[in-house]
Copies of this chain bind each other. A is one copy, B any other.
Amino acid sequence: MIRAAVVGAAGYIGGEVLRLLLGHPRVEVAAAVSSRFPGKRVDGPHPNLRGVTDLTFCTEEQLTEYDVLFLATPHRTTMRTLPRLAALAKTVIDLSGDFRLRDAEVFRRYYGEPHEAPELLDEFVPGFPELAREQLTGADRIAVPGCMAAAAILALTPLTDEGLIEPDVDVDARTGSSGSGATAGEANLHAERSGALRLFATSGHRHEAEIAQACGVRPTMTATGVEAVRGVQVVCRTRLREGITEQEVRAAYRRRYAEEPFVRVVAQRRGLYRLPEPKILLGSNFCDVGFALQPDSRRLLAVSALDNLVKGGAGNAVQSLNVRMGWPERLGLEFPGLHPV
């Protein structure tokens, strides 16, 4: 049993980290930090945890020592607090965007301001077992990827690893409202956000940089807010290199994910759910990936879906912890998702 603390525990990602850790057989949640709700019960902002825990939030000042620290604080907070917080735990798992990019210059371009701790960028390993399982073993600085980036990367790596596609990729991400967090504003007001099909980003989305870094492609990303709270679907439109066949594509996906506990290849010829769809993944750590060729051309769709708060965030963090600790990778992540839903 190891002791964990969660900073930023009152937010949506923080709450999901708590949910998963409270159900994890080898982790004890020793502290949950919230600057807004110190002293208040954790099941106030997270009503799904009623009857599951009696924990109350504490302040950052009240933190002592832990085996692992999860940082679910806003972008640009981690890079400021890390030097201080890192002293409290051997292992730090960051869920913000601060340590996902290796290149400080790329960070500056996508985040619009300089990185404040560029010397630490090299210390971080991606909290992404499908990409960095070996590095994660024993890693103590882990940066979990962005939700849309994670989905896109899982859709693309079977293709890019084997050099099957051309470098230009249109990344069309569709996302629920929980990705923008628990802070109320006009953009996530129910009357405005309900039923939306909102192209809120047509270029320069931060996750674009992560995709480029991981896959070595030239992504052009758009993001559309759709009617959902949880869930991300990514549709990548690209072209196969000359002469590549459907069988080779299918084999590449199969090979790449044969041993992966949380990636399922979904590319059927029939059925309602023949390509990945996020609604059946709510609460689950699965990422479904699939593809479809467009005949009479070399165009290919690579599609993926996940729950942005689980495989796109807290689930990847816990899976990374499992890998880092040498535990069975599925531990605490067994919930398969629901249907119908």
Asked whether B339 lies within 8 Å of A48 as measured between CB atoms, the reply is yes
Asked whether B336 lies within 8 Å of A48 as measured between CB atoms, the reply is yes
Question: A27 at the A/B interface (Cβ < 8 Å)?
Answer: no
Q: How many residues of A contact B (CB 8 A)?
A: 84
Asked whether A335 lies within 8 Å of B266 as measured between CB atoms, the reply is no
Instruction: Point out the residues of chain B lying under 8 angstroms from A295, CB to CB.
Output: 203-204
Asked whether A337 lies within 8 Å of B191 as measured between CB atoms, the reply is no
Interface 1/0s, chain A 75-108, versus B by CB < 8 A? Answer: 0000000000000000000000000000000000
Copies of this chain held together in the complex: 4
Instruction: Point out the residues of chain B lying under 8 angstroms from A184, CB to CB.
Output: 184-186, 188-189
Shortest Cβ distance from A12 into B: residue: B340
Asked whether A226 lies within 8 Å of B229 as measured between CB atoms, the reply is no
Q: A273: which of B47, B334, B340 is its contact (CB, 8 Å)?
A: B47
Asked whether A338 lies within 8 Å of B283 as measured between CB atoms, the reply is yes
**CB under 8 Å from chain B, chain A span 232-261:** 233, 235, 237
**CB under 8 Å from chain B, chain A span 163-202:** 170, 172, 174, 176-178, 182, 184-199, 202
Instruction: Point out the residues of chain B lying under 8 angstroms from A147, CB to CB.
Output: none
Question: A222 at the A/B interface (Cβ < 8 Å)?
Answer: yes
Question: A1 at the A/B interface (Cβ < 8 Å)?
Answer: no
Asked whether B280 lies within 8 Å of A48 as measured between CB atoms, the reply is yes
A20 to B150, CA, bound (A): 29
Query: Of A118-126, A153-161, A296-304, which stretch is located at the interface?
Result: A296-304
Asked whether B229 lies within 8 Å of A198 as measured between CB atoms, the reply is no
Asked whether B301 lies within 8 Å of A230 as measured between CB atoms, the reply is no
A305 to B194, CA, bound (A): 16
Asked whether A283 lies within 8 Å of B283 as measured between CB atoms, the reply is yes
Asked whether B194 lies within 8 Å of A229 as measured between CB atoms, the reply is yes
A312 to B206, CA, bound (A): 35
A220 to B322, CA, bound (A): 43
Instruction: Point out the residues of chain B lying under 8 angstroms from A331, CB to CB.
Output: none
A60 to B231, CA, bound (A): 38
A280 to B191, CA, bound (A): 11
Give the shortest distance, in Å, between A324 (CB) and chain B (any CB): 23
Asked whether A191 lies within 8 Å of B177 as measured between CB atoms, the reply is yes
Instruction: Point out the residues of chain B lying under 8 angstroms from A226, CB to CB.
Output: 197, 226-227
A interface with B by C-beta (< 8 Å): 12, 15, 19, 22-23, 44, 46-52, 170, 172, 174, 176-178, 182, 184-199, 202-204, 220, 222, 224, 226-231, 233, 235, 237, 264, 266, 271-273, 275, 277-284, 286, 288, 292-295, 297, 299, 301, 303, 305, 334-341
